[in-house]
């Protein structure tokens, strides 16, 4: 048994562009689920609209491909109706942070027992590269042709403030760490939020001086900083360079949660 058994072999190869990191995140998530030893009949994948949300279409289990931004309400419904099922939500940054932002906050507040894997590519990839709430300051996109002037959303801090039980962030370069983080999230009762930074070579990298896919992956690798190190920097009062991606486990706590089977 390996995670490859979870793919619909007849639907592969998928539609993602060459070098897109979403496939890596699907691999890591499925590997974590495989390690949990869950049955395919008792696992449900829910997704909204976007590149990342095409993921459940390539997985053999039952899945819901729902309206834009409303993956979390649908997942809440599934979990409330069948608390014994394992619900995993694949979502993107435009899906989760922009259109489904309020649903995300309330799902964290209710602390429903689901796992949210957010593939954050910092842009609306599928619709043609419009700027999303997580587009960093100065980045070019089709709606910000002179560089984004707004500060970007930090989804992990938002999830912590709203009350999620487990929050972690990794990039598509850190596959082993991401697998462990997803597994920890699946084991933890309550809402587990894992943000995975992915590269988008077609719509983000092409406009932002990453000519090759590997350049963007190298950027993800060299700009990520462990949370412990980041906290040490903050304690000493050192400046953290711009564009640093703080990675690692942000919070793991045991607030009362909804939908945990008794």
Partner 1 sequence: MKIEIDESRCKGCNLCTVGCPYKIFQAGKKPNRKGVLVPLLDRPERCTNCRLQHLYGRVLCGVCQMTCPDQAIRFRDEKSGEPVKVAIEY
19 binds partner 1 (CB under 8 A): yes
13 binds partner 1 (CB under 8 A): yes
In the bound complex, what is the minimum distance in angstroms from residue 19's beta carbon to partner 1? 4
Phi, psi of 243 (to 5 degrees): 80, 15
Answer whether 108's CB lies under 8 Å from 159's CB.
yes
Q: Is 23 or 57 the residue whose CB approaches partner 1 more closely?
A: 23
175 binds partner 1 (CB under 8 A): yes
Identify the residue among 1, 18, 81, 149 touching partner 1 (CB under 8 A). 18
Identify the residue among 14, 68, 106, 227 touching partner 1 (CB under 8 A). 14
| Sign of the CA dihedral with 69 first, then 257, 42, and 116 last | positive
Q: Are strands 192-197 and 166-171 parallel, antiparallel or unpaired?
A: parallel
Of the candidates 141, 95, 144, 137, which has an alpha carbon nearest to the alpha carbon of residue 118? 95
Binding piece for partner 1, criterion CB under 8 A, among 4-12, 103-111, 187-195, 226-234: 4-12
Site string for partner 1, 31-50 (x = CB under 8 A): x-------------------
Identify the residue among 148, 179, 188, 208 touching partner 1 (CB under 8 A). 179
Binding piece for partner 1, criterion CB under 8 A, among 44-52, 99-107, 148-156, 167-175: 167-175
Answer whether 234's CB lies under 8 Å from 226's CB.
no
218 binds partner 1 (CB under 8 A): yes
7 binds partner 1 (CB under 8 A): yes
**Residue showing tokens 């993107």:** 92
24 binds partner 1 (CB under 8 A): yes
90 binds partner 1 (CB under 8 A): no
Q: Is 152 or 247 the residue whose CB approaches partner 1 more closely?
A: 247
57 binds partner 1 (CB under 8 A): no
Contact residues: partner 1, CB under 8 A: 4, 7, 12-14, 16-24, 27-28, 31, 172-173, 175-176, 179, 201, 213-214, 217-218
């Amino acid at each position: 048994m390996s995670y490859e058994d979870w793919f619909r072999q007849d639907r592969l190869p998928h539609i993602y562009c060459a070098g897109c990191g979403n496939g890596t995140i699907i691999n890591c998530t499925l590997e974590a689920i495989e390690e949990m030893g869950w049955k395919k009949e008792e696992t449900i994948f829910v997704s909204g609209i976007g590149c990342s949300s095409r993921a459940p279409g390539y997985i053999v289990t039952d899945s819901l491909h729902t309206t834009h931004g409303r993956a979390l309400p649908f997942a809440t419904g599934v979990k409330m109706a069948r608390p014994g099922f394992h619900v995993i939500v694949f979502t993107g940054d435009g899906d989760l942070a922009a259109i489904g932002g309020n649903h995300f906050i309330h799902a964290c507040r209710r602390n429903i027992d689901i796992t949210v894997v957010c593939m954050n590519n910092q842009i609306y990839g599928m619709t043609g590269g419009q700027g999303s709430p997580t587009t960093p300051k100065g980045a070019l996109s089709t709606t910000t042709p002179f560089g984004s002037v707004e500060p970007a959303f930090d989804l992990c801090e938002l999830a912590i403030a709203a009350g999620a039980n487990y929050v972690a962030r990794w990039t598509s370069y850190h596959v082993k760490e991401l697998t462990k983080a997803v597994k920890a999230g699946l084991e933890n009762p309550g809402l587990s939020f894992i943000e995975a930074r992915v590269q988008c070579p077609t719509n983000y990298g092409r406009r932002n001086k990453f000519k090759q896919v590997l350049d963007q992956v190298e950027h993800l690798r060299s700009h990520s900083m462990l949370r412990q190190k980041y906290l040490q920097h903050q304690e000493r009062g050192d400046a953290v360079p711009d564009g640093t991606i703080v990675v690692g486990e942000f919070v793991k706590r045991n607030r009362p949660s909804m939908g945990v089977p008794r």
